[in-house]
Amino acid sequence: MPLVSSQAAEPPQPIPPMVKLSVDRAVKWLMQQQKSDGYFLDSKNDQRAKKGEIQGYAGAMTALSIMGLSSVGHMPSDATPEGQAVAKALKFMIEFVEPDKDNKETEGYLGRGDRSRMYGHGIMSLMYAEMVGMSKDEEMDRKIRERLEGAVKLIVKSQRVPKSDSNKGGWRYEPQSSDADISVTVWQLLALRAAKNAGIEVPDEAIKDAVAYIKRSYRSERDSMGRPKDLAAAFSYEPYGGRQTFSTTAAGLLSLQVCGQYEAAEVIGSANYLMKNPPEINEPWFYYGNYYYAQGMYQRGGDFAATARRKTEDTLIKAQSPEGAWYPRNGNEKSAGAVYATALSLLSLSVYHHFLPIYQK
């Protein structure tokens, strides 16, 4: 198949009325899920938090919610109810989410307290990186930066745990895991890139090794120069094996572009694959994958961006509940809940808004 090159980015467009209405309804619903201490969870129980003692996934879900709300323009410096909700959530993330301190091997680890493991660590780290400089409170900004620095050190240390050649450069469920998979790896890589953009010291080697890991997960035979032969292929869950889905493919696509690999063969090939295999709402991990799909294809530009935008808008607007939420339908994602799906849907619909630095071209 011939190379399909990126087309020029579309000029800025007004937000379609149906998208604006959908976003506004989602924001209203999500704000109603915020608890007294500032965190976001589906739970109807407004359980009070203690420092280092928070409900399961409260850190990760709150971080996703902050990014979802911020991605459509609601910043913690805003005096609006929405801005105040984001500021309150950010305060929770600083005051109640306690990084590991006692063990040097896991110092800075954010995923233990809410049991979200390295998935949550990557999500929370990315959120902190995106919120640097967004608060009008200088002391809060200092704390965010300090928290991010510790989180980045943990990500880098975890990557350097001895791993096999195929797993080198990646991450998995725990900081000391010796294997890796693409879903955990992409969150860490996005966090590292966002942290670097925010002025945090990130070793170039860490990003280089992670990019190499992602590329090894691209499922194509290689020529004698190591270049993929198939320019319409998927990324697999693990290098040289594992399931190949639209979600793993979209994750690989976005993460490589965020690292500046806009014309890599793996980027071209995964975008071509997604043009032929767009997401369907009943697939496993639809909301997670659709977030990467919407943002990754937007980065690709031209017909890729236009096709993904239409698909994303049509699917999400039809699937939105009357009260404004989205509910996962399939497999393990179903148990993740509506706060998770709604925050990711806001991120998926936010390609018009361009508020979060990591998604800007």
Per residue in 265-280, pLDDT tens? 999 999 999 999 999 9
**What does the CA dihedral 129, 131, 137, 141 come to, rounded to 10 degrees?**
0
- Say whether pLDDT at 9 is over 70: no
Return d(Cα 328, Cα 165) in angstroms, integer. 36
The whole-number average pLDDT for the span 193-221 is 97
- Say whether pLDDT at 11 is over 90: no
pLDDT at 2: 33
Percent of the chain with pLDDT over 90: 85
Q: Kindly indicate the confidence band of residue 355, based on its pLDDT and cuts at 50, 70 and 90.
A: low
* Beta bridge pairs of residue 222: 228
- Say whether pLDDT at 189 is over 70: yes
pLDDT at 358: 59
pLDDT at 242: 80
Tens of pLDDT, residues 285-301: 999 999 999 999 999 99
Tens of pLDDT, residues 314-344: 999 999 999 999 999 987 899 999 999 999 9
pLDDT at 332: 83
Q: Is 55 helix (H, G, I), strand (E, B) or coil?
A: coil
- Say whether pLDDT at 10 is over 60: no
pLDDT at 7: 40
pLDDT at 12: 56
Tens of pLDDT, residues 71-107: 999 999 999 999 999 999 999 999 999 999 989 899 9
Tens of pLDDT, residues 44-72: 889 999 888 899 999 999 999 999 999 99
pLDDT at 359: 62
Return d(Cα 182, Cα 342) in angstroms, integer. 23
Q: Kindly indicate the confidence band of residue 284, based on its pLDDT and cuts at 50, 70 and 90.
A: confident
Q: Please name which of 63, 16, 69 lies closest in space to residue 346, comparing C-alpha atoms.
A: 69
- Say whether pLDDT at 187 is over 70: yes
Residue type, 228: P
The whole-number average pLDDT for the span 142-149 is 97
- Say whether pLDDT at 13 is over 80: no
- Say whether pLDDT at 18 is over 80: yes
pLDDT at 1: 30
pLDDT at 166: 95
CATH numbers and ranges of domains, the chain: 17-359 (1.50.10.20)
- Say whether pLDDT at 140 is over 60: yes
Return d(Cα 152, Cα 148) in angstroms, integer. 6
Return d(Cα 49, Cα 239) in angstroms, integer. 40
Q: What is the pTM of this model?
A: 0.94
- Mean pLDDT (the chain) is 93
pLDDT at 6: 37
Return d(Cα 172, Cα 186) in angstroms, integer. 10
- Say whether pLDDT at 8 is over 60: no
Determine how many CB atoms are found less than 10 A away from the CB of residue 304.
Answer: 21
